[in-house]
Structure 1
Amino acid sequence: MTLPSTLYRNGRFFSAAAPCAAAMLVRDGRIAWMGASADAPTADAVVDLGGALVTPAFVDAHVHATDTGLAADGLDLSGVRSAGQLLAAVAAFAQTRAPDAVVHGHGWDESTWADQTPPDADELGRVAGGRRVYLSQASVHSALASRALLAACPGIEATGGYDASGWLREHAHHAVRAVALGSLTPAQREAAQRSALRLAASRGVASVHECAGPGTSSEQDLASVLALSGQGLPRVLGYWGELGGAQRAKDLGAVGAAGDLYADGALGSRTASVGTPYADGGGCGEAFVSAEQAGAHLLECIELGVQGGFHAIGDAAIASVLDGFAIAAQAVGVERVRAGRHRIEHVELADRAMIARMVEFGVVASVQPVFDALWGGPDRMYAQRLGVDRALASNPIGAMHATGVALAFGSDAPVTPLDPWAAVVAAAAPRNPVFRMGVRAAFAASTRGGWRAVGIDDAGELAPGAQATFAVWDTPAGLDGGLPALLPGPDGDVPARPVCRRTVLSGETIYEE
């Protein structure tokens, strides 16, 4: 489809190439010209921006579209603060669902409860009228399941991570999750994905990295969301997280065998692989990938020309994965490893030596700054799990940036909301001020960084010749250095957040208020 050329005028443009521009011409999906409104060339259509700010559109480098859509349209448990509140929410929501449906809910976080004991499988089944219930914890690395859902998973009692209470982790969680998501019809799944992608577009996000794989979603789920890519919605770039699955990733249309390829679990469920036992429960979590396996996976990806990568949160898991990078580099050379822009997701407990190795191997860190905003600092969930010192050392995103690690910011939605400005703020004002980075650098990681993380280097900036992928914003708090004012001033007042008015992907408007 050929789009009409469009002149956007009477705006303010965040552009290093044309910092004084007030107008921009878009033709054939690219920026053809930028300059003063009085000098603007003719176009098929004209959009008066009314003084609004135009920036590169955001890229969310880690999402789960189906879960995000289900959470947005369904049972949001992020606000419950007790087992009783959770049960009441399930009871009310279950009445809106058919007797044979699965009740999907997400976002409960027991670390915010005075009594951190969740309801058991029998209580869930009772309030849900016997329905199957699947309630993913905020980290999506554990879930509560009703007795009816457990019964739909024969042999689950012998699976790692099973607990008779119905609070399941890792392999047992993957089993019930597969049943819960498998209960969706193709139409329901597509509706949830569309909902998530429309929400992303309304937040100024023009592209998302869908992180799929065994235990996370399914091949059908990935195929469904990839089919929606760019169809009046954000561009979807898929990852298939399966060890030794490089060829499968190519066959599925994914850009890499990476994303949620689990080297470990999550801090919230005490399954991230850590070198020092958890402060509030003992044990060192779960390790799923050895250095040798990581190295072999990377070599397979290099041979087939796809990105490789891993989910690694705990320091022990990150160390094993980086040892795998060293094995691959010894086999094919450091430069060939670096050329692949391979990824590690989350990277929450990395020390200076690990960060230096990431620079050495050209690793892209796909990170979620809002994790720190929600759970970091001396008095939140990470401090419960790790102790205050380790909590304050977590999510060293600013240190990665200062050392030269390539960054791409994401939400891991629905783990945190699709709110890219929140990620910028969280990175610029982290719980530990030692890890601060500038707003401009954080914005770059949320925009250009996401494109570069998938090998696309001609997007993420406003310049003639670049892809015309941008967002238009009302900025009620004004501007600071060309971007919206985001950080509290000396009086402590929090500025009003920008409001998206339009999102454009390669010249096509995918959202307009």
Structure 2
Amino acid sequence: MDPDAEGRLLTRTLLVGVRLPGATGPAAVELDGPLVTWTGPADRAAGRPAERVEELHGTLLTSPFVDAHVHATASGLLLTGLDLTSCRSGPDVLDAVVAAPGGLVWGHGWEEDRWADPRLPGRAALDRASAGRPVYLSRIDVHSALVSTALVDRAPQAVGAPGWTAEGSLTADAHHHVRRAALAALPTAQRDAAQRSFLAHAAGRGIGEVHECAGPEISGEADLAALLAFDGVTGFWGEAVASPEEARELCARTGARGLAGDLFVDGSLGSRTAALHAPYRDAPECTGNRYLDDAALVRHVVACTRAGIPAGFHVIGDAAVESAVAAFEEAASRTSPDAVRAARHRLEHLEMVDPGQAARLASLGVVASVQPLFDAAWGGPDGMYAARLGEERALAMNPFAALHAAGVALAFGSDSPVTPVDPWATIRAATAHRTPGSSVDEATALAAHTGGRPVPVAGGAAGYALWDGDRCLRTVRAGRLLHQAM
């Protein structure tokens, strides 16, 4: 996705003998610059006016994958910085901080639910391990973080804000304040290197387009502007508006396609900040957090609908989901159902949605941007969902089959760095859901992860990915070579 990484492919390239998903017999695909000019059976490819012919002998060819939800800078920092996903205790985290190079320590991926002893290191211990450096260590869900005193000193507004603790991890507004301070302390060169590293990593896994879910609580306008300079990045900006004029101005200023993505209605189940109707099983006094009230949700959807701009929200808990669904319905009554459908609004995660809500969303054309690897990581009778919610509520999580059956358009993503960019693992997770009856078939899953077009078609953009099993051999987007391993 780096415009300087590789040149364009030769014009009139003919790929012969490829396997296409769902097709019988070898096929051929012809590309001329940015367009697909012909597809058909391999035995009809002879005589096509190609300048270059590649015999690929049964190699699988798909459209390039689309990752519908990423955080590129944070994902790149995980690749180039402190990866805490293998830590199995608080002391492991401290050891990683001690070994980190000088300057700001940015780490990600601790998950205390997987530790034998779930106690987190305190702030004083982090201060000692870091020798007084600023430290930001996000939990696997990026809805809470361990931080050092040096970072808190850069974000004094975090002290006493919702989610603040003098020891332990920060959540809610306190977390948002320290995250902004950590991003502000990140050198521009390190940010740019992280973005390039992530986009190269994604292209190496067959990803031709990513949807960056940015916003003032997540990354910032400068971060998004730098990222949008790369090819294959679509930006969504998570900030609420109250008028069509404000919506248009904000999209123009940020370069975002829509005011959607991680506009937080609630938080996450892992950090117990997802908004629930009934309390958490393992925290009976807690029903999570709400960051936008119902009136703000309605204003935002109405404004974006009238501006013809996609709106959307981050929703996980059942209380948050119901508020978002009701907001779309109220917006339809204030504008029109056709106007709401035309805007192609979206919801991110949408984990605790019931069949009735799915039908209501389908009637208004709302897209479900979902992450099948969440179920692989936290589903099942002994997973984090069951620990937080109890088995009955956990079994209803991430109901991909019900959403598809209701007619909701599915868009698959990773939420990287929360789960890895791994499209075939995502397909397997969607087709082998840990709750019986919630899986979708492979054709549906592939369509959900390729923007609705699993294979290239004549007249479409010249994009494809070649595969040897899960290994990506080549990724091409609009005639540009993004990745080559053959």
Report the TM-score, using the length of structure 2 for normalisation. 0.94
For the residue of structure 2 that corresponds to 1:262, the secondary structure is coil
1:58 to 56, 59, 65: 65
For the 8 Å contact 1:213–1:219, the answer to whether it is kept is yes
**Range that drifts further, 464-473 or 285-294:** 285-294
Determine the C-alpha separation between the residues in 1 that align with 2:161 and 2:72. 27
Asked if 1:12 corresponds to 2:27, the answer is no
1:309 to 304, 308, 312: 312
Letter in 2 for 1:198: A
For the 8 Å contact 1:132–1:145, the answer to whether it is kept is yes
Q: Which residue is equivalent to 1:467?
A: 461
Q: Give the superposition deviation at 1:360.
A: 1.4
Question: How do 1:475-490 and structure 2 match up within 5 A?
Answer: 475=469
Q: Give the superposition deviation at 1:23.
A: 2.1
Determine the C-alpha separation between the residues in 2 that align with 1:68 and 1:11. 36
For the 8 Å contact 2:18–2:57, the answer to whether it is kept is no
Q: Which residue is equivalent to 1:495?
A: none
Determine the C-alpha separation between the residues in 1 that align with 2:327 and 2:425. 33
**Range that drifts further, 293-302 or 130-139:** 293-302
Determine the C-alpha separation between the residues in 2 that align with 1:11 and 1:122. 62
Letter in 2 for 1:354: Q
1:157 to 150, 159, 169: 159
1:27 to 25, 32, 37: 32
Letter in 2 for 1:14: L
Question: How do 1:102-141 and structure 2 match up within 5 A?
Answer: 102-141=104-143
Q: Which residue is equivalent to 1:242?
A: 239
For the residue of structure 2 that corresponds to 1:8, the secondary structure is strand
Determine the C-alpha separation between the residues in 2 that align with 1:192 and 1:124. 24
For the 8 Å contact 1:147–1:166, the answer to whether it is kept is no
Q: Which residue is equivalent to 1:191?
A: 193
Determine the C-alpha separation between the residues in 2 that align with 1:151 and 1:81. 29
For the 8 Å contact 1:290–1:321, the answer to whether it is kept is no
- Cα deviation code 1:332-365 (max 9, x no counterpart): 1111111111000000011111111111111100
Letter in 2 for 1:113: W
Asked if 1:221 corresponds to 2:223, the answer is yes
- Cα deviation code 1:287-343 (max 9, x no counterpart): 122232212111111222211000000110010111111111101111111111100
1:87 to 90, 94, 97: 94
Q: Which residue is equivalent to 2:436?
A: 433
For the 8 Å contact 2:306–2:335, the answer to whether it is kept is no
Letter in 1 for 2:11: S
For the residue of structure 2 that corresponds to 1:136, the secondary structure is strand
Q: Which residue is equivalent to 1:173?
A: 175
For the 8 Å contact 1:460–1:469, the answer to whether it is kept is no
Q: Give the superposition deviation at 1:2.
A: 7.8
Percent identity over the alignment is 47
For the 8 Å contact 1:250–1:306, the answer to whether it is kept is no
Determine the C-alpha separation between the residues in 1 that align with 2:265 and 2:17. 46
Determine the C-alpha separation between the residues in 2 that align with 1:304 and 1:3. 38
For the 8 Å contact 2:8–2:479, the answer to whether it is kept is no
- Cα deviation code 1:392-419 (max 9, x no counterpart): 1111112111221100000000000011
For the 8 Å contact 1:13–1:54, the answer to whether it is kept is yes
Q: Give the superposition deviation at 1:22.
A: 2.8
Determine the C-alpha separation between the residues in 1 that align with 2:149 and 2:362. 48
Q: Which residue is equivalent to 1:211?
A: 213
For the 8 Å contact 1:150–1:166, the answer to whether it is kept is no
Q: Which residue is equivalent to 2:411?
A: 408
Letter in 2 for 1:28: G
- Cα deviation code 1:181-214 (max 9, x no counterpart): 1112222111100100000000000000000001
For the 8 Å contact 2:265–2:313, the answer to whether it is kept is yes
For the 8 Å contact 1:6–1:47, the answer to whether it is kept is no
2:385 to 382, 393, 410: 382
For the 8 Å contact 2:20–2:27, the answer to whether it is kept is no
Q: Which residue is equivalent to 1:352?
A: 355
For the 8 Å contact 2:236–2:259, the answer to whether it is kept is yes
Determine the C-alpha separation between the residues in 1 that align with 2:251 and 2:315. 19
Gaps of 5+ in 2: 1-6
- Cα deviation code 1:43-98 (max 9, x no counterpart): 23333324311111100000000000000111111111111111112212x2xx22
For the 8 Å contact 1:250–1:256, the answer to whether it is kept is no
Q: 1:439 to 1:3 in 2, by over 3 A?
A: closer
For the residue of structure 1 that corresponds to 2:437, the secondary structure is helix
Q: CA RMSD in A?
A: 1.6
Asked if 1:74 corresponds to 2:74, the answer is no
Determine the C-alpha separation between the residues in 1 that align with 2:8 and 2:371. 37
Asked if 1:500 corresponds to 2:472, the answer is yes
Letter in 2 for 1:29: P
For the 8 Å contact 1:292–1:327, the answer to whether it is kept is no
- Cα deviation code 1:10-49 (max 9, x no counterpart): 3323267x75453211013111012325524122333332
2:399 to 383, 396, 399: 396
Q: Which residue is equivalent to 2:4?
A: none
For the 8 Å contact 1:11–1:53, the answer to whether it is kept is no
Q: Give the superposition deviation at 1:150.
A: 1.3
For the 8 Å contact 2:274–2:317, the answer to whether it is kept is yes
Determine the C-alpha separation between the residues in 2 that align with 1:502 and 1:3. 12
Determine the C-alpha separation between the residues in 2 that align with 1:74 and 1:447. 30
Determine the C-alpha separation between the residues in 1 that align with 2:50 and 2:137. 52
Determine the C-alpha separation between the residues in 2 that align with 1:302 and 1:250. 16
Report the TM-score, using the length of structure 1 for normalisation. 0.89
For the residue of structure 1 that corresponds to 2:447, the secondary structure is helix
Q: Which residue is equivalent to 1:489?
A: none
Q: 1:422 to 1:40 in 2, by over 3 A?
A: farther
Determine the C-alpha separation between the residues in 1 that align with 2:327 and 2:424. 34
Determine the C-alpha separation between the residues in 2 that align with 1:259 and 1:40. 47
For the residue of structure 2 that corresponds to 1:307, the secondary structure is coil
Letter in 2 for 1:90: V
Gaps of 5+ in 1: 450-458, 476-497
